[in-house]
Amino acid sequence: MRKTRTLPIAVVVAASAMILTSCSGGSAEPAADVTDEPVFEGTLSILTKFGGDPLESYFEEIADAYEAEHPDVTVELIQETDQSVKDKTKTLTASQALPDIYFTWAGDWAQNFVGGGLAADLSEVIAPGTEWGDRFGEASLSAFEYDGKYYGVPLYNNGKFMGFSKSAFAAAGIEVPTSFEELIDSCGPLRDAGYEPIAFGNKDGWPALHYLQQLFAYNVPSDVLHADFDPTTAEWTDPGYVAALEQFDRLVTECTDSGNGTNGVLYTTAQEALAGGRAAMYYQEILEFDTVTAEGSALTTDDFGIFPLPAPEGAAGDSSAIEGSPEGYLINARSPRAALAVDFMKFATESDNASLLSSPPYGQPSTVIGAVTEETSSTPVFEGIAAVNDASQLVIWLDTVTVPEVADAWLAGGEAIISGSATPEEVLQSVRTANDAAK
């Protein structure tokens, strides 16, 4: 049975925008002026996605340093995890209590806030060619560009890779697979060597979508895939989708110990299985690389390797694409402290702070040019970012690039494939139905 979900973020943002408009006598409040000189006093609130160890202390350290430079400013942090930040953002939006600065993914998620008038236009201060904007690669800035305007501060880059234990592969007598078929074939020898081949937890739903989106990029022609992200041009009929769903089903069945029980396993439990030496592989974001090799883990940095989820042989899509996207922060367009918020984010993206973010134990590869080097970052993080930079394209997460109704259909579909309660064709039909409702 499908779990009850909170309202899609688009609905929450739209409702909040309507309330703000009605409360201002029929016109929205004036947008924040981010070009003003900041007033260094008062409380600056920030919603982060760095809740929990080891990430939580990063913003605490940056906040302490900023307060030391500006004694009359208090930085209030609301620290959430990758999962809880979604519900927290919806709650704060619905109650018209969005903080001055708040985390966002690229794609439809950020666009909802832009369209709802809740994200300040930062073009004058961060567009390419500005002093601040030139700290970043243009691709990172463009991830938060809508209708020619720039709204987001890209804090770090991200991509999805298969992390693996080199010693587990050696014990099983296998090499790094170069095709999806070789990946599946490696699971038997790994299990015989005493390892769970691929640790996988899908209790939150989105881990399945990460597999699916990468497989979609491989199996579906790129122009078709990108057209399908927009409900007005989407068809969701390409045979590559069925092929990808069948490949995902095979991976879950043949390579994970939980099988159709994976929907009840947390992704952090899977992460810990690799870190603890019980699993040979775990599909993870660059942001997790330094976590699985943190102090106390059985998996050491020297034993940890990465490779992209390999493409199926003869697939019709882009075999050089990597799933990923910069992640960043928006500034509340209604905030009277917008100029102060800009100043804080400039501080957070100074070279020293960007290098700190990219270094262990944080391992979050900063979008600031020159921050990720072999000296500042661990080898896996450096290699991961190099692969992201060399990819033919980055394909944004399926649950944030599409509209909420379609994302929810895919979340349910991934769970259904794992549980065996729906066929690939039935999942696709439910996605098409959701897409039609979203037009």
Q: What is the CATH number of the domain that holds 200?
A: 3.40.190.10
**Would you place residue 137 in the very low, low, confident or very high pLDDT band (cuts 50, 70, 90)?**
confident
Q: Does residue 398 form part of some domain?
A: no
Q: Are residues 153 and 164 in the same domain?
A: no
Q: Are residue 299 and residue 347 in the same domain, yes or no?
A: no
Average pLDDT over residues 122-142: 94
State yes or no: pLDDT of 29 exceeds 80.
no
> Which tens digit of pLDDT belongs to each residue from 199-243?
999 999 999 999 999 999 999 999 999 999 999 999 999 999 999
Distance, in Å, from the CA atom of 40 to the CA atom of 48, rounded to the nearest integer, reads 21
**Spatial separation of the C-alpha atoms in residues 426 and 226, rounded to whole Å:** 22
Whole-structure pTM value: 0.83
Indicate whether 266 and 410 sit together in one domain: yes
Among 117-131, 204-218, 383-397, where is mean pLDDT lowest?
Answer: 383-397
Confidence (pLDDT) at 230? 94
Asked if residue 198 and residue 242 are part of one domain, the reply reads yes
pLDDT reported for residue 258: 81
In this model, does residue 322 exceed pLDDT 80?
yes
334 close to 100: Cβ distance less than 8 angstroms: no
Whether residue 207 is found in the same domain as residue 134: no
Cis peptide before 54 (omega within 30 of 0): yes
Backbone angles phi, psi at 185, to 5 degrees: -65, -25
- Mean pLDDT along residues 130-153: 93
How many alpha carbons lie under 13 Å from residue 48 in its C-beta half-sphere? Answer: 23
Please give the average per-residue pLDDT across 60-84, as a whole number.
96
Instruction: Name the domain count of the chain.
Output: 2
pLDDT at 28: 45
Let me know if residue 289 belongs to a domain.
Answer: yes
Q: Are residues 419 and 286 in the same domain?
A: yes
Let me know whether 209 and 319 are in one domain. Answer: yes
How wide is the angle at C-alpha 275 spanned by C-alphas 271 and 277, nearest 5°? 120
pLDDT over 90 (residue 25): no
Residue 410 lies in domain: 160-323+403-438
254 and 372 housed in the same domain: no
The whole-angstrom separation of Cα 126 and Cα 139 is 13
Residue 394 lies in a domain: no
Residue 10, pLDDT above cutoff 90: no
DSSP β-bridge partners for residue 304: 165
Q: What is the mean pLDDT of the chain?
A: 92
Q: Do residues 280 and 340 both lie within one domain?
A: no
Q: What is the pLDDT of residues 156-194, one digit of tens each?
A: 999 999 999 999 999 999 999 999 999 999 999 999 999
Q: Do the domain assignments include residue 32?
A: yes
